[in-house]
Amino acid sequence: PKAEAAVPPSQPSPSGGRGKTFWATASALVIGGLGVIAGILGWRSTIAPVTLSAPVYSQATIERGRTLAAIGDCAVCHTAAGGTPNAGGRAMDTPFGTIYTTNLTPDAETGLGRWSFSAFQRAMREGISRDGHYLYPAFPYTAFAKTSDDDLQALYAYFMSLPAVHAPTPPSDLKFPFGIRALMAGWNALFHDPAPMQPVAQQSAEWNRGAYLVNGLGHCGACHTPRNALGAEQGGSAFLSGAMVEGWEAPALTALASKSVVPWNAEALYRYLRHGHSPQHGIAGGPMAEVVRELAAVPDADIRAMATYLASFNAQTSEAVARTQAQRAVADAAASRARLLGPAQRMFDSACAACHHDGDGPTLLGANVPLALNSNLTGARPDNLLRTILDGVREPATREIGFMPAFREALSDAQIAELAGYMRARFAPQEPAWKDLPQAVARVRAAPH
Ligand code: HEC
Ligand code: HEC
Ligand code: HEC
């Protein structure tokens, strides 16, 4: 198979000849090893281009495809900032470099216009483009592979029904050796399981529907499951145990890994996914806001199914226990306020307290989730809290959440670090203090927003 990136000239080694030989040999072995696998598996054929004639899909199928595309967030990734929806061109930063999403509109030259259904099906199941080149797993085909043929047909029908837009995909810019697409054959052999999902007989139909959506088109694990050094989602107990994505922390969704004060249950998950906030956990901000916005097009039954499935990973706490836990956390936060008098508290009282109470305040100015229950305060990292303070809540997932101003200009790094340290001590006294807050503020402030 043809490598896409040229081999860069070898770099002089700072550690002298021996180190250079060692690393050169080691990387040659690794690349050679992946290359052999790629050589065996890596040759994939081109699927002949087709010329589409009159549409053959019913309006009902196209509409079903539209809903499925919303569950899959296709338009979130496949739309450039300010660009035509689904015409691609959004840059995705990965640890291995930058790649761009492709044009999914039926343009013959730059989009899916000459793709047969089998070419689309192969891309979604195996991560291989129509002309045979391998796709990177920044495209969540590892999850999409679980989608049924019937649903893939509806998705295909929907994309073919869109107006064609001419929009070439910018070339990717990946570090060596990741620019060599054929190496993905080795990656797939190690990490990708294209087998369709088998329903679990002991579970309800609703649970199975939820599992199908969460692990398939919903690709929730793409953000919520930590990845290994080669960018593959980890299995076993790491499933949905929380990960960093686009500079945000996607918190753990399972009881064992989650630090949330009140464990998630089906009702809370449903509310969060449907309305973008949960009174016992917080709001859907950052990349999760986009997910919730897309889910608005998805019927209630499917949202409930996802909630039912995810709730099965969480200890069943009764409503009464959850309420007691929540009340205790809010009372603890109020008690710690008295102990933490100082400049940070004055800053909180003047800049934040008008909108944020301890959970007893009015909800006129938005959802007003008690900060003592908010995942951003109980998480292991301060990133989501710092992002919220720096950038506010400017594009809430739903109107009922409300707006929060950005404090990027109003507060210095030192002030934000002090405020965050204070908030942790007051609202999450059960958790250890965050370390190195001033550096964390500088890092988060410098990240693209
Ligand atoms: C998390 C971001 C993300 C989401 C969500 C996503 N894609 Fe993609 N997709 C990508 C990226 C990135 C590529 C390009 C991969 C590459 O060049 O190796 C891609 C490539 C593709 C391709 C291959 C196109 C080609 O010309 O080779 C198809 C088909 C595709 N996506 C369909 C979809 C569909 C359908 C959905 C929704 C169900 C979807 N994608 C959702 C990121 C995404
Ligand atoms: C593009 C990345 C991404 C995808 C895809 C994604 N999430 Fe999230 N999710 C996040 C981030 C980031 C947060 C934290 C948002 C915040 O606190 O403002 C989050 C938060 C959540 C929370 C709240 C967690 C807490 O403790 O506050 C739930 C529940 C959730 N996601 C469920 C899901 C489900 C279900 C799916 C699949 C349908 C999904 N997510 C897909 C990134 C993602
Ligand atoms: C004008 C009203 C207003 C002010 C002032 C304000 N906020 Fe907010 N804030 C909101 C709203 C509305 C939300 C979203 C609803 C909610 O979480 O209650 C929010 C959400 C939050 C969240 C939760 C985000 C999430 O993902 O769950 C945090 C943390 C937060 N604010 C911290 C602060 C801090 C710290 C200050 C002061 C520096 C502040 N806010 C000032 C209105 C405000």
Over the chain (449 residues), the average pLDDT of each successive run of 10 is: 32 35 50 58 77 78 97 97 96 90 97 96 97 95 97 97 96 88 91 91 97 97 94 92 93 86 92 94 95 97 97 83 88 88 91 79 67 94 97 93 94 97 95 96 92
Protein residue with least CA distance to atom 37, ligand 2 = 220
According to the model, what pLDDT value does residue 32 have?
A: 54
Question: Among all ligands shown, which has an atom nearest to the Cα of 378?
Answer: 2
Q: Is the pTM of this model over 0.85?
A: yes
With the most atoms of ligand 2 within 8 angstroms of its CB, the residue from 73, 76, 214, 224 to mutate is 224
Residue 442 alpha carbon to ligand 3 centre in Å = 20
Burial degree of 9 (CB within 10 A; 0-12, 13-18, 19+):
exposed
DSSP three-state, residue 224: helix
According to the model, what pLDDT value does residue 56 have?
A: 82
DSSP three-state, residue 250: strand
Cβ-Cβ contacts under 8 Å for 337 (sequence gap 6 or more) = 345, 426
Residue 218 alpha carbon to ligand 2 centre in Å = 11
According to the model, what pLDDT value does residue 435 have?
A: 95
Question: Do the beta carbons of residue 240 and residue 360 sit within 8 Å?
Answer: no
With the most atoms of ligand 1 within 8 angstroms of its CB, the residue from 47, 78, 291 to mutate is 78
Residue 102 alpha carbon to ligand 1 centre in Å = 6
Ligand 2 atom with the smallest distance to the CA of 220 is 37
Question: Among all ligands shown, which has an atom nearest to the Cα of 152?
Answer: 1
Residues 300, 241, 127, 199, Cα dihedral to 10°: -50
Cα–Cα distance measured from residue 159 to residue 153, given in angstroms and rounded to the nearest whole number: 10
Residues with CB under 6 A from ligand 1: 69, 72-74, 76-78, 92, 99, 101-102, 104, 120, 123, 129, 135-136, 138-140, 144, 155, 217
Question: Do the beta carbons of residue 164 and residue 113 sit within 8 Å?
Answer: yes
Sheet harboring 173-174: ordered strands across? Answer: 91-94, 97-100, 173-174
Protein residue with least CA distance to atom 36, ligand 2 = 220
Cα–Cα distance measured from residue 357 to residue 352, given in angstroms and rounded to the nearest whole number: 9
Question: Among all ligands shown, which has an atom nearest to the Cα of 121?
Answer: 1
Burial degree of 104 (CB within 10 A; 0-12, 13-18, 19+):
buried
Ligand 1 atom with the smallest distance to the CA of 181 is 18
Protein residue with least CA distance to atom 18, ligand 2 = 285
Residue 186 alpha carbon to ligand 2 centre in Å = 30
Protein residue with least CA distance to atom 22, ligand 3 = 388
Cα–Cα distance measured from residue 62 to residue 84, given in angstroms and rounded to the nearest whole number: 19
Ligand 3 atom with the smallest distance to the CA of 384 is 26
Cα dist from 233 to 257, 284, 445, 447, whole Å: 16, 22, 28, 24
According to the model, what pLDDT value does residue 170 have?
A: 95
According to the model, what pLDDT value does residue 302 have?
A: 98
Ligand 2 atom with the smallest distance to the CA of 258 is 26
Any ligand 2 atom below 6 A from CB of 287: yes
